[in-house]
C-alpha cells in the first residue's frame, strides 16, 4: 500500500504540469520538527531579509526599482517556502485540489512553478551538505525532508552541479540584497558613502563569509564548478557578482576601465577565496588581511598608472616645447 | 520627515495585500513599484529583451565613439583650413550624442564593447587619412559614415517600433533625434562637394563596408 502510494506520488510529481503534489499520507507526524528544519534551512535566505526596511524607498535609478521588483519576486519565491513551513497541513490539503484545476495556467495562490520547486528542494538539500558533501545524495535528502520522493533528484540533470550553482546564485542574490540596502541607506542620507576600495573590501568579505558554514566541503564544490559543462554558468555567476559589486561601489565607466576594473576585482575575489580554503586562523583573519593587501595593491597600481600617465604627458609637452624652440632657433618656423 | 513619508507609502502598499502582490509576482509580471523616474530605457522584462536592448545600446555607443574619433582625425588635419569650423560644429554634436549614450549605458548597466580601443585608433586613422585626400575627401568620408549610421538607426527604430512602440517611447525619441542629426551631417557633406572627390564611389562603398563590419562586431563583442 505504501509502495503504491509512493509510486503514485512519483508518477504525479513527474507528470504534473509543473504543479507540486505530495501525498498527504507522507506528512510526517512531527511537523514541528520539520518546521524547525525548514526554519534552519531558510536561515540563509532570511538572514538578509530579517531587518529589511520598507521596500518603497526613493531609489534614484530605475535599476533599483527593477531590482526591488526582482528581490520582491525572490521573496515571493521564498514566501511559498515560508508559507509551506508554517502551514504544511493546510497547503497539503489544498494543493491536490488545485493541481488538476489549474491546468489552463491560471495561477492560483497555491501554484508553484517547477523552478520554484527545484529551488526549494536545492535549498533544503543545503542542510545535508556537511553529511553528504556536494552530491546528489544531499539533494535526495533535501527532497525527502520536504516530503517528496528522493527520485525527484531526476529533475536535476546536472546533479551536484545544480546544487552548487543554486547555492552560488543564492549567495549572489543575498549579497545584492545587502548592497542595495546599503545603497538605499546612503540615498536616504542615513549612512556615509564609502570609498570604493573600502566598499569592495567589505563586499568581498560579506560574500566570502557566506561560505563559512560550508568551508570544509567547499573545495569539492569548487572542483564541481570547474567541470567543463559547468564553466559557462559559473563564469556567468562570477561576472554578475563582480559587476554588481562594482556598480554599487559607484563605478559608472563606459570605456576600457569597465573591463580592467572587473578583471582586477575578479582576480582579487578568486585569490582570496583560495586563501580562505586553507586558512586556519581564528575567524579567517588571515584571509581578510590578504584581501586588504590585494586591494591595496590594486589601489597602488591605479595611482601609479595615473602618475605615469601624468608624467608621460608632461614629458611629451616638454619635447614639443624643445622641438618648437629648435625650429625657432634654426629659423624653420618663419613663414615667408 | 522623509522616513515618515516612506513608512506611510509602505503601509499603503501593505494594505493592498501581500497575497495579491505575491500572486502578481508569481505571474512573472514584475511589479513596477514606482514610476520609471527619468530613464530612457525601460527595465527589461526578460533576458531576451535585455539582450536586444543591450546590443542596441552597445552598438550605438560604439558608433558615436567612432564618429567622435573620425571627426577628431579630420580636425587634426583640416582644423586650420576653411572647413575647420564646420567640422568642429559637427564634432561637437557628436560629442553630445556620445555623452548621452554614456549616460544611458551607465544607467542601464550595459557592457561597453571591448573593441573600443580598436575603434579609437581606426576612427582617428580613417578621419585623418580621408582628410589627407583633401576637403572633398573628408566630406566624402562624412557622407559615407553618416549614411551608414542613419541607415543603422533607422533599422533600430523599425525593430523597436515592431516590438512595442509605447514601451520604448523615450528611447525611440532619442534615436530619432540622433538620426536626424546624422542625416543633417550627411546633407552638409553633400553640400560641400563630397561627390567631387576622385574615386568617390569606391571610397564611399569601402567606408560603408567597414562601418557594417564594425556594427556587426560591436553588437556581439
In A248-267, the residues whose Cβ lies within 8 Å of chain B are 252-256, 258-259
- Residues ≥6 apart with Cβ < 8 Å to A5: A23, A25, A26
Nearest-Cα residue of chain B relative to residue A80 = B22
How far is A50 from A263, CA to CA, in rounded Å?
Answer: 33
Provide the 10 A C-beta neighbour count for residue A30.
8
Contacts of B31 in chain A (CB under 8 A): 69, 72
The reply to whether A188 touches chain B by the CB within 8 Å rule is yes
Strand, helix or coil for residue A256:
helix
Q: What is the ipTM of this complex?
A: 0.77
The reply to whether B1 touches chain A by the CB within 8 Å rule is no
The C-alpha angle with vertex B97 and arms to B118 and B159, in degrees rounded to 5, equals: 85
Burial of residue A192 (CB within 10 Å: 0-12, 13-18, 19+) is: exposed
**Residue in B7, B30, B41 nearest the CB of A73:** B30
Place of cell 536626424: B180
- The parts of chain A modelled with pLDDT lower than 50 are 17-30, 40-41, 47-60, 65-66, 68-98, 101-102, 104-105
Radius of gyration of chain B (CA): 22
- B117-141 average pLDDT score: 92
Q: What is the pLDDT of residues B149-196, one digit of tens each?
A: 999 999 999 999 998 888 899 999 999 999 999 999 999 999 998 888
In A127-186, the residues whose Cβ lies within 8 Å of chain B are none
The reply to whether A54 touches chain B by the CB within 8 Å rule is yes
Mutate to test the interface with A, among B19, B25, B36, B64 (most CBs of A within 10 A): B25
Burial of residue B53 (CB within 10 Å: 0-12, 13-18, 19+) is: buried
- Residue A111 is predicted with a pLDDT of 78
Contact in structure between A265 and A240 (CB atoms under 8 Å): no
Contact in structure between A239 and A176 (CB atoms under 8 Å): no
Q: What is the pTM of this model?
A: 0.70
- B102-113 average pLDDT score: 91
Q: What is the pLDDT of residues B195-213, one digit of tens each?
A: 888 889 999 999 999 999 9
B64 is in an annotated binding site: yes
Contact B10 A54 (CB under 8 A): yes
The C-alpha angle with vertex A124 and arms to A275 and A276, in degrees rounded to 5, equals: 5
In A86-115, the residues whose Cβ lies within 8 Å of chain B are 107, 109, 111, 113
How far is A329 from B120, CA to CA, in rounded Å?
Answer: 36
Of A78, A165, A178, A15, give the one whose Cα is nearest residue B26.
Answer: A78
Contact in structure between B114 and A259 (CB atoms under 8 Å): yes
Contact B3 A111 (CB under 8 A): no
Average pLDDT, chain B: 84
- Residue A39 is predicted with a pLDDT of 52
Contact in structure between A214 and A129 (CB atoms under 8 Å): yes
The grid coordinates listed for A21 are 503534489
Contact A56 B31 (CB under 8 A): no
Contacts of A20 in chain B (CB under 8 A): none
Place of cell 506611510: B8
- Residue A292 is predicted with a pLDDT of 94
pLDDT greater than 80 at residue B106: yes
- Residue A79 is predicted with a pLDDT of 44
Contact A56 B32 (CB under 8 A): no
Q: What is the pLDDT of residues B13-64, one digit of tens each?
A: 444 444 444 444 444 444 333 344 567 888 888 889 999 999 999 999 999 9
pLDDT greater than 80 at residue B126: yes
- Residue A75 is predicted with a pLDDT of 47
B146 is in an annotated binding site: yes
- Residue A107 is predicted with a pLDDT of 52
Provide the 10 A C-beta neighbour count for residue A75.
20
B163 is in an annotated binding site: no
B136 is in an annotated binding site: no
Contact A54 B34 (CB under 8 A): no
CA dihedral B32, B38, B41, B44 (to 10 degrees): -20
How far is A81 from B37, CA to CA, in rounded Å?
Answer: 33
Nearest-Cα residue of chain A relative to residue B31 = A69
Place of cell 503504491: A4
- Residue B122 is predicted with a pLDDT of 94
Q: What is the pLDDT of residues B146-161, one digit of tens each?
A: 999 999 999 999 999 9
Nearest-Cα residue of chain B relative to residue A83 = B19
The grid coordinates listed for B125 are 586613422
B103 is in an annotated binding site: no
H helices present in chain B, as ranges:
2-16, 18-26, 47-78, 84-108, 116-132, 135-163, 169-191, 200-220
Contact B61 A254 (CB under 8 A): yes
- Residue A189 is predicted with a pLDDT of 86
Amino acid at each position: 500500500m505504501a509502495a503504491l502510494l509512493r509510486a503514485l506520488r512519483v508518477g504525479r510529481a513527474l507528470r504534473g504540469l509543473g504543479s507540486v503534489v505530495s501525498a498527504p499520507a507522507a506528512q510526517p507526524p512531527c511537523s514541528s520538527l520539520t518546521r524547525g528544519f525548514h526554519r534552519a534551512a531558510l536561515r540563509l535566505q532570511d538572514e538578509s531579509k530579517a531587518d529589511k526596511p520598507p521596500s518603497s524607498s526613493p531609489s534614484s535609478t530605475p535599476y533599483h526599482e527593477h531590482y526591488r521588483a526582482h528581490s520582491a519576486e525572490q521573496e515571493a519565491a521564498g514566501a511559498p517556502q515560508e508559507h509551506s513551513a508554517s502551514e504544511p497541513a493546510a497547503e497539503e490539503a489544498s494543493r491536490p485540489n488545485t493541481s488538476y484545476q489549474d491546468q489552463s495556467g491560471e495561477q492560483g495562490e497555491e501554484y508553484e512553478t517547477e523552478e520554484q520547486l527545484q529551488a526549494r528542494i536545492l535549498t533544503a538539500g543545503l542542510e545535508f551538505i556537511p553529511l553528504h558533501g556536494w552530491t546528489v545524495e544531499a539533494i535526495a535528502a533535501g527532497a525527502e525532508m520536504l516530503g517528496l520522493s528522493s527520485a525527484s533528484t531526476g529533475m536535476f540533470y546536472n546533479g551536484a552541479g545544480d546544487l552548487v550553482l543554486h547555492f552560488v546564485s543564492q549567495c549572489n542574490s543575498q549579497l545584492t540584497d545587502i548592497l542595495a540596502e546599503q545603497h538605499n541607506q546612503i540615498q536616504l542620507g542615513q549612512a556615509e558613502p564609502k570609498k570604493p576600495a573600502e566598499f569592495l573590501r567589505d563586499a568581498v568579505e560579506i560574500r566570502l563569509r557566506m561560505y563559512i558554514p560550508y568551508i570544509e566541503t567547499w573545495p569539492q564544490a569548487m572542483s564541481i564548478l570547474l567541470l567543463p559543462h559547468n564553466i559557462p554558468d559559473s563564469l556567468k555567476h562570477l561576472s554578475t557578482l563582480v559587476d554588481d559589486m562594482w556598480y554599487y561601489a559607484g563605478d559608472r565607466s563606459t570605456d576600457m576601465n569597465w573591463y580592467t576594473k572587473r578583471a582586477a576585482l575578479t582576480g582579487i575575489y578568486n585569490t582570496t577565496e583560495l586563501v580562505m580554503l586553507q586558512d586556519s586562523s581564528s575567524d579567517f583573519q588571515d584571509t581578510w588581511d590578504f584581501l586588504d593587501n590585494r586591494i591595496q595593491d590594486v589601489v597602488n597600481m591605479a595611482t601609479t598608472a595615473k602618475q605615469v600617465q601624468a608624467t608621460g604627458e608632461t614629458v611629451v609637452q616638454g619635447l614639443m616645447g624643445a622641438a618648437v624652440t629648435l625650429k625657432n632657433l634654426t629659423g624653420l618656423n618663419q613663414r615667408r | 520627515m522623509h522616513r515618515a513619508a516612506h513608512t506611510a507609502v509602505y503601509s499603503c502598499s501593505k494594505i493592498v495585500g501581500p497575497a495579491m502582490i505575491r500572486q502578481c509576482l508569481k505571474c512573472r509580471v514584475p511589479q513596477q513599484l514606482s514610476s520609471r523616474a527619468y530613464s530612457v530605457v525601460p527595465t527589461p522584462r526578460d533576458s531576451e529583451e535585455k539582450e536586444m536592448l543591450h546590443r542596441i545600446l552597445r552598438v550605438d555607443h560604439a558608433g558615436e565613439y567612432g564618429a567622435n574619433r573620425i571627426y577628431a582625425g579630420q580636425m587634426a588635419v583640416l582644423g586650420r583650413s576653411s572647413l575647420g569650423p564646420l567640422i568642429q560644429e559637427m564634432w561637437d554634436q557628436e560629442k553630445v550624442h556620445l555623452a548621452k549614450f554614456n549616460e544611458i549605458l551607465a544607467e542601464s548597466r550595459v557592457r561597453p564593447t571591448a573593441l573600443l580601443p580598436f575603434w579609437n585608433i581606426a576612427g582617428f586613422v580613417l578621419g585623418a587619412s580621408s582628410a589627407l585626400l583633401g576637403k572633398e575627401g573628408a566630406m566624402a568620408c562624412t557622407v559615407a559614415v553618416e549614411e551608414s549610421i542613419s541607415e543603422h538607426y533607422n533599422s533600430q527604430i523599425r525593430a523597436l517600433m515592431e516590438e512595442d512602440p509605447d514601451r520604448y517611447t523615450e528611447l525611440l525619441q532619442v534615436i530619432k533625434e540622433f538620426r536626424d542629426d546624422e542625416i543633417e551631417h550627411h546633407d552638409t557633406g553633400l553640400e560641400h562637394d563630397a561627390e567631387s572627390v576622385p574615386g568617390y564611389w569606391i571610397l564611399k562603398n569601402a567606408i560603408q563596408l567597414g562601418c557594417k563590419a564594425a556594427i556587426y562586431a560591436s553588437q556581439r563583442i
